[in-house]
Chains A and B, each alone.
Chain A
């Protein structure tokens, strides 16, 4: 029996288009848009001005707050404007626009830091922070914060998230296959930084090649184990992953560190490896550009700040009329209004659905089939919370634990009446939190 969690759904994988395609370097963009906020936490403070010349890897936004992460120039060129621009997560954010000089010149300060052993845990954490590394699975939580638990919390386990349970996405899969060494190197950095000896790499069993490759890579390592997981959505959800691998339940409202675990995405650990090995901060990432709405789906290594439009053009442009462009996967990704938005640190994929695929669903009445109840990984009663949300019964929604919802969207996916359950639960969560703040 493969390890797994309770509940969940089995959407089609849709990974065939890109899972066997090697990572390709995207063309150097002519201009990049670098939002000063690409992470959970406080936005960066601007440290460049219009007209400044910048080089690759140069810091352009400083994260002063504890929960923050600096941003860097991803190409060399000139800062041509600093303005609030559309952000792929929604709304507008102050962003630095850099026009390329075509030279791709690297900042002089970028130098390798040396071997892991020569660096103290504190130094490693500082490197990770300065490199602007955030969780690259999508949540974009500053990595160094995760690696710095308060002293009263003992961390004994690190889990590397290679589940990639979102349909269509193959960026993590390719990273595990092609950058295996960096994955292992990054893991060792994390082990030293946090001082843990036990590491598990969780990979869904629909990626047998990645499982094999990593098993070979860590065969000599006593403390690093590869754990094949049953392919089921949301296997890559932090709480589900921790439960599947360790049997520990992250307490309601709590963080993984409360059960002694830190979870890092495979993309994140390769970014860490690169930062330590070369000194280069997080200025590029692998993005799966896919869906039947693009002509040639690919896995592209793209500079942060590259407009979506450039990457879609590089994949042959649209195939027919696009209906929906999504950042991330189809289960939790964010639908975009514009193609001018840039790739950010948390952009795991750009998914283009055709007009036919991008359907608007007309919700029907709830027939109490309870499928949402059966599949909810948190054991909520989505249909009830959705009902309370619609009726404005926020106290009841809270009593039914709406705040525990991880917003995986499995309930909306499975509902035969096409009721937007997770959307209504999200609304309830927002209301409950807003009312709490008022009190």
Chain B
């Protein structure tokens, strides 16, 4: 038993076998139904947009890390998620080079300049999307009808600009104009159910977010079901507002985050110039996240009772 080389570290000496990589790949798996539905409804070009965006994200992440002499961590899956989420938030006929630019901005300006995974204050995919809306407003609002492949408007646009309503069933299955991955509520819900089951997203954010939109829309005399099912709300509520890095770590903070984002969506959709408002609602609440974390700390066990 002599000359043993024993490892000495501080406790605990065992760890849960979950990892960041497992979480990220689960999110990717959860986005597959929405991606498939997008390709199914909008055709092969939608697939190319997804591929271009993911590629742009991976290459940008790798380049940044190489230039900064940091370990290359593209295999953790987080860049893939950013690229994929951005693509799902782009119109199906979007030019591929623009998708690459968008994902490069998402990773570069949205994530790497802050220090990479875990340090970015805003959802990188939404940073990329905001950049593209500002740079290419035309391409970002050109929609294709999944029925006949010709140019159309989104259900929210149709309602806002022409007063035309869309039936619930088409909205639910996603046979309407819109971004690649946002139209099919059912596909999004399948993926979301998987993540909820795995415990990788907290129900509080989507519940309070969607709930706030539904209640306020009802109060203001709008159709809550229509608003829940149209635009990027479902995708945003389950896959972007729930982004771990940019949403609060406290439960109370998550409630406020969801309610706040819901209010912003309603304000933009009813009174704003845009038909949609999901991206900005989440980005705005991302900005408030550090404050929410600070002011919604849970009561320490034994704290209040100690002081009477």
User: Chain A interface (Cβ within 8 Å of chain B)?
Assistant: 6, 9, 11, 167, 239, 243, 249-254, 309, 312-313, 317-318, 322-326, 330-339, 351, 353, 357-361, 364-370, 373-374, 377-381, 383-384, 400-401, 404, 409, 412-418, 420, 422-423, 426
Contact between B19 and A378, CB atoms less than 8 A apart = no
Closest to A253 in B: B306
**Cross-chain contact B300 with A401 (CB below 8 angstroms):** yes
Contact B300 A326 (CB under 8 A): no
Q: Beyond the given A335-B9, A384-B293, could you list 15 further A-B residue pairs with CB under 8 A, ordered by the A residue number?
A: A167-B14, A239-B301, A252-B306, A324-B9, A326-B13, A331-B13, A367-B23, A370-B202, A370-B244, A370-B248, A374-B251, A379-B301, A409-B12, A413-B12, A420-B10
For the complex, give the distance between the alpha carbons of A426 and B9 in Å.
13
Point out the residue from A249, A309, A323, A413 that lies within 8 Å of B302, measured CB to CB. A249
List residues of B whose CB falls within 8 A of some A CB.
1, 4, 6-16, 18-20, 22-23, 76, 78, 116-119, 202, 244-251, 293, 297-303, 305-306
CB <8 Å contact, A323 and B297: no
Assess whether A335 is in contact with B244, with CB atoms less than 8 Å apart. Answer: no
Query: Distance in Å from the Cβ of A242 to the closest Cβ of chain B?
Result: 10
Taking a contact as CB atoms closer than 8 A, the residue among A331, A367, A381 that contacts B12 in the complex is A331
Which of B7, B76, B245, B247 is most buried by chain A, counting CB atoms within 10 A of its CB? B7
**A252-B301, A368-B118, A413-B15 given; A337·B249 CB < 8 A:** no
Known: A367-B20, A367-B245. A331 touches B11 (CB 8 A): yes
Q: Note all chain B residues with C-beta closer than 8 A to A251.
A: 302-303, 305-306
CA distance A140 to B299 in the complex (A): 30
Q: Which chain B residues border A353 with CB–CB below 8 Å?
A: 13
Decide if B1 touches A309 in the complex (CB within 8 Å).
yes
Contact of B297 among A322, A365, A381 (CB under 8 A): A381
Rank and list the top 5 A-B pairs by shortest CB-CB distance, nearest first: A251-B306, A365-B118, A409-B12, A370-B249, A379-B298
Instruction: Please report whether the interface of chain B is mostly helix, strand, loop or mixed according to DSSP.
Output: loop
Determine if A335 and B250 form an interchain contact, defined as CB atoms under 8 angstroms apart: no
In the complex, chain B residues whose CB is within 8 Å of the CB of A250: 302
Chain A CB within 10 A, most for which of B118, B119, B249, B301: B301
User: A373 and B10 in contact (CB under 8 A), knowing A252-B300, A367-B20?
Assistant: no
Residues of B within 8 A of A333 (CB): 11, 13
User: Is there contact, CB below 8 Å, between B6 and A336?
Assistant: yes
Inter-subunit contact B11/A239 (CB<8 Å): no
How many residue pairs bridge A and B at CB < 8 Å?
Answer: 164
| In contact, B10 and A423 (Cβ under 8 angstroms) | yes
A332 CA to B10 CA in the complex, in Å?
A: 8
Please tell me if the beta carbons of B13 and A358 are within 8 angstroms of each other in the complex: yes
Chain A residues with CB under 8 Å of B14's CB are 11, 167, 330-331, 357, 413
- Nearest opposing residue in chain B for A252, CB measure: B302
| Interchain CB contact under 8 A, B244 and A365 | no
16 example contacts (A-B, Cβ-Cβ < 8 A) are as follows: A250-B302, A252-B301, A309-B1, A322-B4, A331-B12, A332-B12, A335-B10, A337-B6, A364-B117, A379-B300, A401-B303, A404-B301, A416-B20, A416-B23, A418-B19, A422-B10
Chain B residue at smallest Cβ distance from A424: B10
A353 vs B7: C-alpha distance when bound (angstroms): 10
Q: Is the CB of A330 within 8 A of B11?
A: yes
Q: Report Cα–Cα, A239/B305, bound state, in Å.
A: 14
List B contacts of A253 (CB < 8 A).
Answer: 302, 306
Contact B15 A249 (CB under 8 A): no
The chain A residue sitting closest to B21, CB to CB, is A416
With A331-B12, A370-B250 known as contacts, the answer to whether A416 contacts B301 (CB < 8 A) is no
A9 to nearest B CB, angstroms?
A: 7
A422 x B12 contact (CB < 8 A): yes
Min CB distance B16 to A, Å, is 5
A335 to B244, CA, bound (A): 33
Are B303 and A252 in touch, CB under 8 angstroms?
Answer: yes
Residues of A contacting B118 with CB < 8 Å? 365-368, 417
Q: Point out the residues of chain A lying under 8 angstroms from B251, CB to CB.
A: 374
Distance between Cα atoms of A280 and B122 in the complex (Å): 66
For residue A417, which residues in chain B have a CB less than 8 angstroms away from its CB? 19-20, 118
Q: For the complex, what is the distance from the CA of A413 to the CA of B248, rounded to whole Å?
A: 21
- Do A335 and B7 have beta carbons less than 8 Å apart? yes
A217 to B134, CA, bound (A): 76
CB-CB < 8 A to B245: which residues of A?
A: 367-368
Contacts of B300 in A (CB 8 A): 252, 378-380, 401, 404
**What is the CA–CA distance of A366 and B118 in the complex, to the nearest angstrom?**
5
Residue pair A330, B13 in contact (C-beta under 8 Å) = yes
What residue of chain B has the Cβ atom nearest to residue A380's Cβ? B300
How far does the alpha carbon of A363 sit from the alpha carbon of B1 in the complex, in Å? 32
Q: How far is the CA of A300 from the CA of B251 in the complex (A)?
A: 46
Give chain B residues whose Cβ lies under 8 Å from the Cβ of A404.
Answer: 300-303
User: How far apart are A167's CB and chain B's nearest CB, in angstroms?
Assistant: 7
- Given A370-B250, A413-B15, A413-B16, are A365 and B305 neighbors across the interface (CB < 8 Å)? no
Kindly list chain A residues whose C-beta atoms are within 8 Å of the C-beta of B9: 324, 335, 360
| Cβ–Cβ < 8 Å partners of A312 in chain B | 1
* Residues in A neighbouring B7, C-beta threshold 8 A: 323-324, 335, 358, 360
Smallest Cβ distance from B216 to chain A, in angstroms? 27
Considering the chains assembled together, what is the distance between the CA atoms of A45 and B248 in angstroms?
A: 54
One of B11, B16, B246 near A414 (C-beta < 8 A): B16
> Closest A-chain residue to B253, C-beta based?
A370
- CB <8 Å contact, B299 and A368: no
> What residues on A are CB-neighbors of B11 within 8 Å?
326, 330-335, 409, 412, 422
Provide the bound-state CA to CA distance between A413 and B78, in Å: 22
| Known interface pairs A335-B8, A366-B118; A249-B16 also in contact (CB < 8 Å) | no
Closest to B14 in A: A330
Chain B residues closer than 8 Å to A416, beta-carbon distance: 16, 18-20, 22-23
Contact A378 B1 (CB under 8 A): no
Q: How far is the CA of A433 from the CA of B22 in the complex (A)?
A: 38
Tell me the minimal C-beta distance from A348 to chain B in angstroms: 14
CB-nearest residue of chain A relative to B247? A368
List chain B residues, Cβ under 8 A from A339: 1, 4
Q: Are A239 and B302 in contact (CB under 8 A)?
A: yes
**Closest A residue, CB atoms, query B246:** A368
Could you tell me the distance in whole angstroms from the C-beta of A315 to the nearest C-beta in chain B?
12
A294 to chain B, nearest CB (A): 12
CB-CB nearest in chain B for A323: B7
* Separation of A384 and B297 alpha carbons in the complex (Å): 11
B243 to chain A, nearest CB (A): 9
